[in-house]
Structure 1
Amino acid sequence: MTHSTKANALREQGVEAVRQNSKQPHFSPKTSMAHTASVGLQHVSGEARIDSRVLAGHLGNKHQTVRELLTDYADDFRQLGILRFQTGEIRGRGQPERYALLNEDQAYLLLTYSRNTAKVRQLKVRLVQAFRQARQAQDLTQTEYLPTYHALHEEISALAAGSTNERFVHVNVNKLVNKAVGIEAGQRDRLDLPRRSLVVAAQFLASMAMRGATDRKDGYSKVKIALERLGVTLLEGGPHA
């Protein structure tokens, strides 16, 4: 058997292993629904990607099987973008584990190597929804979030110009925005579309409030009042009211 023939045989075995594993009832229907209810994406250099370990879990496969499939068919996956392998710890063991962060097309390609079971079809739907929302969030970031963010902080700079406390005004106004929409510091990059839209609205209101201020202290006070009103409105009606 030639080297090429052996390689092809190993690849086919990897595909069949994924197919066979995806047929096994690893989850009850109830557990499967809960497990695939949300698909966690990561953002790498502004691009939404999914961890191969997450996909393996949704498929009910061992991650080693999925990783070997990605390695065997690496050339196929690289035709759809950079195949990003990372090294992390195996959960609960502290041992190094190699995994891949797949883009949208690569994730769909991986699923083509699985039998089209109800579980796989459901995962495809979840992936379509997750990646679509990621694109919408990215569009919102470019067209609305960043412009309102910069407009707000330009107003702050104009009022606090020359003050040694200018940096703290920027930080404290950001805290007011976060509090108004119910998020913590560091969460903005991971917000879903509704919450990101609320941040845009809060930044716009804060910017408008700043424009009528006489100095940075007055500006902060006006922003605080405007955003407290927004926060009360959201608490009473909820973000989807």
Structure 2
Amino acid sequence: MSNITVQTIDSTFVVDSRLIAAELGIAHKSFKETIRTYQTDFEEFGNLAVHSEGVKGTSSYSEFLYLNEDHSYLSLTYSNNTPQVRQAKVNLVKAFKVAREATAPKMSLTLIESVEAYLNTLKEVEATKLLLAAADEKVLEMKPKVEMYNILLEANNAIKIGEFADILNIKKLGQNNLFKFLRMKGILDQQSKPYQKYVHHFNVVQKINRHTGDSYPVVLVTPKGQEFIVKKILEDGRYIIKSAIVNQIVEAAAADKAA
């Protein structure tokens, strides 16, 4: 069941960004980062103002945005086109339709007015279909960037260095060679652990060998660390980079910095 609730602020229908994030099944923090990344696109449809409630510095504090109808539909174009996202589109259309009907003046309809109302409903249905089609087209256009955004910029998405090498898919820079590269650059020591100077780019976690019970360290590279490593590879200049993903990482980092 949808929890989308449309409010009226300054004669404009709006939805709390926290409700849309919940509808999409994602963290509100990640949803806000998406809006900040593509803020220029959103501001074409009206200003974005951050609101807050609760006491700052406590668990009750929260920052959120009121998104108008255009903002709300646009936010869904930056999500993977899953069944849950498609249902969220439908729920948003219904919620704004209900809000408009609730504020429409009530009157007795003549036969002609009833026909006109029916025709208008048909037009609205067709307009909704066009809106969903346009949203689907935008999803296809943005899918590569959105997928990379989800991989690299989502909070706490640290991954193994070997997994990162697979994502980059750079010739002669697989897992083992990437470790050698980072040691050569003085980023990792001979035990493949980050030097103190670069430790903020990595997470070192302890894993347990389920067969022996012994613990061993696993080095994970954070989103900021992923951007840092790509810059080092580009600066080195020895590798032939054909992967579009590297460019997407650079673009994502630039967009994140601009936001």
TM-score, with length taken from structure 2: 0.38
The structure richer in helix per residue is 1
| Greater per-residue strand proportion | 2
Q: TM-score w.r.t. structure 1 length?
A: 0.41
